[in-house]
């Protein structure tokens, strides 16, 4: 297998969805795509950030008329269905299915025209940068794919190659996310965001409890359980 990794950088105003990530620095997105042919694809996307920033992104995230796939100046002509799978204070997870594609210059669908046998994609968004990792069985057409993707970019988008590497495994943070319960994950994310783990601490346990609207003992328990689970997962990965 081969890991083809590259980034696409967006100028402000080039894409309304990316503009939200540029304007709101807390927003981060991880998505996994699968595409078996140029006529359809599915996407699982996790967006995290401050509660106010997530509220701002909700409208575009769930609007099925918004084209979040195309990298060219031409919008996709296809059917799109989006479902909200997880709705937490600091995290949204959506499932999007794009079908009956008549025309769409997106990274997965362009790749499907060059690479046979199925492809897996991982995409991360942060600020003005969208990073792609493409897992393929054969690298013989990666050069053609590179040229095509570069040529299809719309105004305000730029392409930067990172690497093409042969790999024997695939690690996706989205697919392998530790199974921490939602309430523990929310508490842990807030604690990190507010500086609870800094030295010295920027926030107290009482302040976290007040913001979450939970008893101090509950917040303390959730943090202990979440950090213990993550520590055990980390130790297992090093074994």
Query: Is a pLDDT exceeding 80 seen at residue 51?
Result: yes
**173 falls in which pLDDT band (50, 70, 90)?**
low
Q: What is the pLDDT of residue 233?
A: 64
Same domain (yes/no): 162, 194: no
Query: Among 166, 195, 218, where does a domain finish?
Result: 166
Mean pLDDT estimate for the chain: 86
Query: 158 and 206: one domain?
Result: no
End-to-end CA distance of the chain: 24
46 within 8 A of 103, measured Cβ to Cβ? no
What is the secondary structure of 134-171 as a DSSP string? EEES--TTHHHHHHHHHHH--TTEEEEEEEEEE-S---
For residue 192, report the phi and psi dihedrals to the nearest 5 degrees: -65, -45
What's the total number of domains in the chain? Answer: 2
- In a domain, residue 37? The reply is yes
Is residue 178's pLDDT more than 60?
A: no
In-domain check, residue 227: yes
Q: Which of 8-17, 86-95, 221-230 has the highest mean pLDDT?
A: 8-17
Look at residue 61 and tell me if it is in a domain: yes
Give domain status of residue 171, yes or no: no
**Are 141 and 192 in the same domain?**
no
- The answer to whether residues 229 and 178 touch, using CB atoms and an 8 Å cutoff, is yes
- Sign of the alpha-carbon dihedral angle for 219, 221, 227, 230: negative
Continuous segment of H or E residues that includes residue 232: helix 216-238
Check whether residue 148 and residue 231 sit in a common domain.
Answer: no
End-of-domain residue from the set 107, 131, 166? 166
Q: Are residues 201 and 139 in the same domain?
A: no
pLDDT in tens, 195-213: 888 888 899 999 999 999 9
Are 40 and 108 in the same domain?
yes
Q: Is residue 206 part of a domain?
A: yes
- Clarify whether residues 143 and 56 are in a common domain: yes
- 27 and 125 part of one domain: yes
H/E segment holding residue 183: helix 182-194
Asked whether 134 and 123 are in contact (CB, 8 A), the reply is: no
Q: Is residue 174 part of a domain?
A: no
> 118: which 2 tokens?
């199925």
CATH code of the domain in which 201 resides: 1.10.10
Instruction: For residues 70 and 186, state if they share a domain.
Output: no
- Are residue 206 and residue 156 in the same domain, yes or no? no
Strands of 2-10's sheet in order across: 77-88, 91-103, 40-48, 28-37, 119-126, 129-136, 2-10, 157-166
Mean pLDDT computed over 40-69: 88
Residue 43 lies in a domain: yes
Residues 48 and 149 in one domain: yes
What ranges make up the beta strands (E) of 55-182? 77-88, 91-103, 119-126, 129-136, 157-166
Q: Which residues pair with 91 in a beta bridge?
A: 48, 88
Across 224-231, average pLDDT: 81
Cα(132)–Cα(142) distance, integer angstroms:
14
Domain identity same for 162 and 195: no
Tell me which residue range forms the domain holding 187: 182-238
Q: Is residue 193 a part of any domain in this protein?
A: yes
């Amino acid at each position: 297998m081969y890991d083809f990794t590259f980034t696409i950088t967006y100028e402000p105003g080039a894409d309304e969805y990316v503009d939200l990530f540029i304007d709101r620095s807390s927003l981060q997105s991880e998505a996994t795509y699968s595409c078996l042919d140029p006529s359809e694809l599915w996407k699982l996307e996790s967006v995290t950030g401050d509660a106010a920033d997530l509220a701002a992104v909700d409208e575009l995230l769930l609007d099925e008329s918004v084209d979040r796939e195309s990298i060219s100046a031409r919008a996709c002509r296809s059917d799109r269905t989006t479902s909200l799978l997880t709705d937490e204070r600091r995290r949204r997870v959506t499932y999007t299915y794009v079908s009956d594609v008549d025309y769409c210059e997106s990274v997965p669908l362009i790749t499907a025209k060059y690479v046979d046998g199925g492809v897996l994609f991982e995409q991360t968004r942060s600020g003005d940068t969208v990073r792609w990792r493409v897992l393929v069985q054969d690298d013989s057409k990666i050069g053609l794919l590179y040229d095509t993707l570069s040529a299809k970019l719309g105004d305000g988008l730029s392409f930067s190659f990172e690497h093409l590497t042969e790999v024997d495994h695939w690690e996706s943070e989205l697919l392998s996310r530790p199974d921490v319960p939602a309430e523990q994950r929310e508490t842990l994310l807030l604690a990190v965001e507010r500086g609870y783990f800094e030295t010295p601490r920027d926030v107290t346990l009482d302040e976290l409890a007040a913001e979450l609207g939970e008893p101090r003992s509950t917040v303390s328990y959730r943090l202990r359980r979440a950090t213990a689970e993550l520590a055990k997962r980390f130790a297992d990965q090093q074994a």
